[in-house]
């Protein structure tokens, strides 16, 4: 990659997912401060593309050379027959030098302290931490971080931050798929297919279409909601907190977690970059860094929370003095592109500090990856997460077309590796870290194959081509376009 250096932070941290070594490297290249991934056993995503021990060894080196960190999921609910193998596996990960093990079982936690004593222990969202008492108890047992239950609102998170040690890190999901079961503890897949969700083998049975069969009318399928289409009863929405990063950080969260270890490299690149840019905006507008990334004052989530609470108290005094009241209701606003904006009037839950202004291009990024209908999770209880009962499919309006290989400054030509068709007249975008996407219209003339021969269009995947371009787009940039163009 020819990307410029990226400022890495542990606090506040952007934590991206990876399902294989390629995606791990992509997440780091596109700005993730840390990456979490699973091995080929004992994680909550069972797939052959998960990382081997050799992959972890290479991934740790790649991350550490670039100032990033690597966390490994060991968060299944193990049976007794799995204990010995799991303990040996965690010991191997500790020897490799991964930065943290993510666990949910208390026995696994205690074993990790013994077999990987120099490795941080993070408590998985599977543990369902919903209060400061549980967080403090886990910290006393050796955890350096808790990943909160996804069912908490901002007020609950503030309560936890205010009542735990400043050293205890708090991680919270901000983007991606949500589970219809509490903290992912689900038995539907096991019941319907024999695939155990608590061993990482979820069949996502909750997203199937369901009807009811009445005992005296066998064979007559009745929709759960009386429609011609049936209903996707448990099909939860996806979470999108990009426009609310300031509220989440001001509540005392240390790490912003993006869901998606089963997602591809493009999804991870786009979302890691989006949340990294959002945090960069936060750090500058809150006065922690200048526009070049130089530290002006240290970020401390406990102090951030105290500042937010102080501002809230001051606002309450001002409101009382004029006889007004704070509003806590209100519907979400939506911009012209359909992107979710802040819930209006949720004063009691939003931060009382000045709002961080995010550029419009950034707020549009979540719409450019495959997703389900978006919501803001459970952070704002006036509009909690729900389900899409009409459709169980994905929204997919943008396509990854290829990658930039290099730039010939003399010929002013951009070399690209094609994945999908690129035709003259198409409006495409170049995506690279810490930058708004660069829009480019493919010219009618000048497309060439790898041998320099003219071609009418780029329609041969897995081959190299070149296009005329005045901008020196960095190598490694991704190329994308809206799937249907007028």
Q: Name the residue ranges covered by the structural domains of the chain.
A: 13-178+236-286, 398-482
Does 230 score more than 70 pLDDT?
no
Q: What is the pLDDT of residue 86?
A: 94
Q: What is the mean pLDDT of residues 348-360?
A: 85
Q: 294: exposed, middle or buried (C-beta count within 10 Å: 0-12, 13-18, 19+)?
A: exposed
Q: How confident is the model at residue 49 (pLDDT cuts 50, 70, 90)?
A: low
d(C-alpha 248, C-alpha 293), whole Å: 21
Q: CB of 380 within 8 A of CB of 343?
A: yes
* Class of the CATH-defined domain 398-482: mainly beta
Q: How confident is the model at residue 387 (pLDDT cuts 50, 70, 90)?
A: low
Tell me: the pLDDT tens digits for 152-176? 999 999 999 999 999 999 999 999 9
Q: How confident is the model at residue 254 (pLDDT cuts 50, 70, 90)?
A: very high
Does 484 score more than 80 pLDDT?
no
Q: What is the pLDDT of residue 352?
A: 80
Tokens of 302: 């406990």
DSSP for 348-391, written as a single string:
TTS-SSPPPPPPHHHHHGGGGS-B-SEE-TTSSTTS---B-SS-
- CB atoms closer than 10 angstroms to residue 355: 11
Tell me: the pLDDT tens digits for 306-340? 988 888 787 777 766 655 544 333 334 444 443 44
d(C-alpha 354, C-alpha 250), whole Å: 10
d(C-alpha 355, C-alpha 304), whole Å: 14
Q: How confident is the model at residue 41 (pLDDT cuts 50, 70, 90)?
A: confident
DSSP secondary structure code for residue 181 in this structure: S
Q: What is the pLDDT of residue 4?
A: 84
- CATH classification of 13-178+236-286 is 3.20.20.70, yes or no? yes
Does 38 score more than 80 pLDDT?
yes
Q: What is the mean pLDDT of residues 73-81?
A: 91
Does 236 score more than 90 pLDDT?
no
Q: What is the pLDDT of residue 312?
A: 77
Q: What is the mean pLDDT of residues 126-132?
A: 94
For residues 379-396, b (16+ Cβ closer than 10 Å) or e, as one string?
A: bbbbbebebbbeebeeee
Q: What is the mean pLDDT of residues 444-462?
A: 95
- 455 or 232: whose pLDDT is higher? 455
Q: What is the pLDDT of residue 36?
A: 97
Tell me: the pLDDT tens digits for 175-220? 998 765 545 555 555 545 666 555 556 666 565 565 566 666 677 6
Sign of the alpha-carbon torsion through 28, 34, 40, 44: negative
Does 22 score more than 60 pLDDT?
yes
Q: What is the pLDDT of residue 436?
A: 96
d(C-alpha 351, C-alpha 237), whole Å: 24
DSSP secondary structure code for residue 99 in this structure: S
Select from 15, 9, 70 the least CA-distant residue to 299.
9
Does 403 score more than 50 pLDDT?
yes
Q: CB of 109 within 8 A of CB of 142?
A: yes
Q: What is the pLDDT of residue 107?
A: 96
Tokens of 34: 């840390």
Rounded to 5°, angle at Cα 120 from 117 and 121: 100
Q: What is the pLDDT of residue 43?
A: 58
What value does the mean pLDDT of the chain take?
85
Share of the chain above pLDDT 90, in %: 66
Does 290 score more than 80 pLDDT?
yes
Does 222 score more than 60 pLDDT?
no
Q: What is the pLDDT of residue 320?
A: 64
d(C-alpha 241, C-alpha 378), whole Å: 11
Sign of the alpha-carbon torsion through 89, 94, 99, 105: positive
Q: What is the mean pLDDT of residues 411-431?
A: 97
């Amino acid at each position: 990659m020819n990307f410029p250096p990226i400022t890495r932070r542990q606090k506040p941290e952007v934590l991206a997912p990876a399902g294989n070594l390629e995606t791990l490297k992509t997440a780091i290249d596109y700005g993730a401060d840390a990456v979490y991934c699973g091995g080929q056993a004992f994680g909550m995503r069972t797939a052959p593309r998960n990382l081997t021990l050799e992959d972890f060894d290479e991934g740790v080196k790649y991350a550490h050379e670039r100032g990033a960190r690597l966390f490994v999921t060991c968060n299944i609910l193990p049976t007794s027959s799995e204990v010995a193998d799991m303990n040996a596996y965690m010991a191997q990960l500790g020897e490799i030098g991964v930065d943290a093990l993510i666990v949910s079982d208390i026995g696994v936690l205690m074993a990790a302290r013994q077999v990987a004593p120099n490795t941080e222990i993070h408590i998985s969202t599977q543990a369902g931490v919903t209060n400061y008492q549980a967080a403090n108890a886990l910290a006393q047992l050796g955890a350096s971080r808790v990943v909160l239950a996804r069912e908490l609102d901002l007020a609950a998170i503030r309560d936890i931050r205010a009542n735990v040690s400043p050293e205890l890190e708090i991680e919270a999901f901000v983007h991606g798929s949500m589970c219809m079961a509490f903290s992912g503890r689900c038995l539907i897949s096991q019941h319907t297919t024999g695939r155990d969700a608590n061993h990482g083998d979820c069949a996502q049975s909750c997203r199937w279409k369901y009807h009811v069969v009445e005992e005296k009318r066998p064979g007559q399928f009745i929709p759960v909601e009386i429609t011609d289409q049936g209903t996707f009863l448990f099909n939860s929405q996806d979470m999108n907190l990009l426009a609310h990063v300031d509220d989440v950080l001001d509540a005392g969260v240390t790490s912003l977690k993006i869901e998606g270890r089963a997602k591809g490299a493009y999804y991870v690149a786009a979302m890691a970059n989006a949340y990294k840019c959002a945090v960069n905006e936060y750090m500058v507008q809150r006065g922690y860094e200048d526009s070049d990334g130089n530290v002006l004052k240290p970020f401390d989530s406990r102090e951030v929370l105290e500042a937010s609470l102080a501002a809230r108290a001051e606002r309450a005094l001002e409101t009382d003095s004029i006889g007004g009241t704070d509003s806590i209701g209100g519907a979400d606003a939506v911009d012209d592109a359909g992107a979710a904006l802040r819930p209006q009037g949720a004063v009691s839950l939003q931060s009382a500090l000045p709002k961080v202004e995010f550029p419009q291009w950034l707020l549009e990024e979540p719409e450019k990856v495959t997703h389900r209908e978006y919501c803001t999770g459970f952070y704002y209880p006036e509009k909690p997460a729900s389900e899409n009962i009409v459709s169980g499919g994905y929204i997919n309006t943008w396509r990854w077309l290829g990658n930039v290989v290099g730039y010939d400054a003399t010929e002013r030509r951009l070399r690209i590796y094609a994945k999908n068709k690129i035709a003259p007249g198409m409006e495409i975008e170049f995506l690279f870290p810490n930058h708004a996407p660069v829009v480019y219209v493919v010219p009618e003339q000048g497309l060439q194959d790898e041998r320099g021969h003219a071609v009418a269009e780029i329609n041969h995947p897995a081959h190299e081509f070149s296009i005329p371009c005045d901008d020196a787009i960095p190598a490694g940039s991704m190329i994308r376009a809206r799937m249907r163009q007028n």
